[in-house]
Amino acid sequence: MELLALEFACFAYLTAAAAYMTGIAYPSDWTRRLGPWALGTAFVLQSLSVVLHVIDTGVIPVEGFTEGLAFFAWLLVATYVFVQRKQEVSVLAAAIAPMAFLFTLLAIEFYSERTVLPESWQTPWLTVHVTLAFLGNAVFGLAFVVSLVYLVQERLLKSHRRAWMIRRLPALETMDRLGYLFLFWGFPLLSLGMVSGGVWALSMLGKFWTWEPREILSVITWVLYAGLLEFRLVGGLRGKRAAYLTILGFMVLVVSYIAVTLISVPGARHGGVYTS
């Protein structure tokens, strides 16, 4: 059932991606209607699959690397839906829906390779840690997407051409403001995610900090985002440079997540592939 729900969600994400992307090039009534409808359906279906997983196993679906990605996509869509209710940013969905499609597809592909977590790891802190950390990452993900849109719009405005495209993207200032807002909200989430991770490690291994590569990279990411936020908050960093740095920050985040997962040493507990 869980897999079936995820498969349908995946298909709905594909539909949403097609609708939103077509909507940018050829906006029409049906793209405007189909996009939100498909994305909403996909989100509900994936939520169902998450709930089923929790009922089945007692933990959130983050045991495997690709499952983690799908869970991340779920949170990304959730934050997008939350933001979209307050501010028209549907152009972001053109990037988020394909991402969600890809991640859920990967999760489905590698579904059988699920690893069961050792009993001792399954404390509530796991859920708290992963949810907070992933939520932080999802909000940074949105910051990344708005920064991309900012750069595209910036380039279009400077080029004096393709006014039709300029018209379909939000104002530069909106993207800049949202980029800042997402950093502002993502940072405490990331911080809480890290602290709760330490608490989880403490409850599991009796140690708060283990010098594991993932932990070190997390701290580097944290410092990077702290610096970025500081510059925006106090240094008046904005516009194109802020967008570039936000993109860079997110790339470091993604690369460290993937790298640590792929090169995870035996005994390492992170990144989903538990090699113990």
Q: Which conformational region is residue 27 in: left (phi greater than 0), alpha (psi within -120 to 50 degrees), or beta?
A: beta
* Burial class of 81 by CB neighbour count within 10 A (0 to 12, 13 to 18, 19+): middle
Give the tokens for residue 84. 């979209």
Stretch that binds another protein, among 60-68, 170-178, 198-206, 212-220 (CB under 8 A): 170-178
* Burial class of 266 by CB neighbour count within 10 A (0 to 12, 13 to 18, 19+): exposed
Measured from the CB atom, is 7 or 154 closer to another protein? 154
154 to 3, 21, 150: CA distances (angstroms): 42, 20, 6
Task: Report the alpha-carbon distance of residue 81 to residue 29 in Å, rounded.
Answer: 20
Q: At what angle do helices 172-205 and 239-262 cross, to 10 degrees?
A: 30
Measured from the CB atom, is 85 or 167 closer to another protein? 167
- Under the binding rule (CB under 8 A), the answer on residue 30 touching another protein is no
Nearest approach in angstroms of CB 185 to another protein is 19
- Under the binding rule (CB under 8 A), the answer on residue 146 touching another protein is no
- Under the binding rule (CB under 8 A), the answer on residue 25 touching another protein is no
- Under the binding rule (CB under 8 A), the answer on residue 88 touching another protein is no
> Who contacts 122 (Cβ-Cβ below 8 Å, separation ≥6)?
58, 59
Nearest approach in angstroms of CB 156 to another protein is 9
- Under the binding rule (CB under 8 A), the answer on residue 167 touching another protein is yes
Q: Which of residues 197-236 bind another protein (CB under 8 A)?
A: 236
Stretch that binds another protein, among 2-10, 192-200, 239-247, 251-259 (CB under 8 A): 239-247
Please give the DSSP secondary-structure letter assigned to residue 112.
G
Measured from the CB atom, is 26 or 211 closer to another protein? 26
Q: How many residues sit in the footprint of another protein (CB under 8 A)?
A: 22
Measured from the CB atom, is 114 or 168 closer to another protein? 168
82 to 49, 79, 124, 139, 242: CA distances (angstroms): 20, 5, 25, 11, 24
Measured from the CB atom, is 114 or 240 closer to another protein? 240
Residues of this chain that bind another protein (CB under 8 A):
153, 157-158, 160-161, 163-164, 166-167, 169-174, 177, 236-241
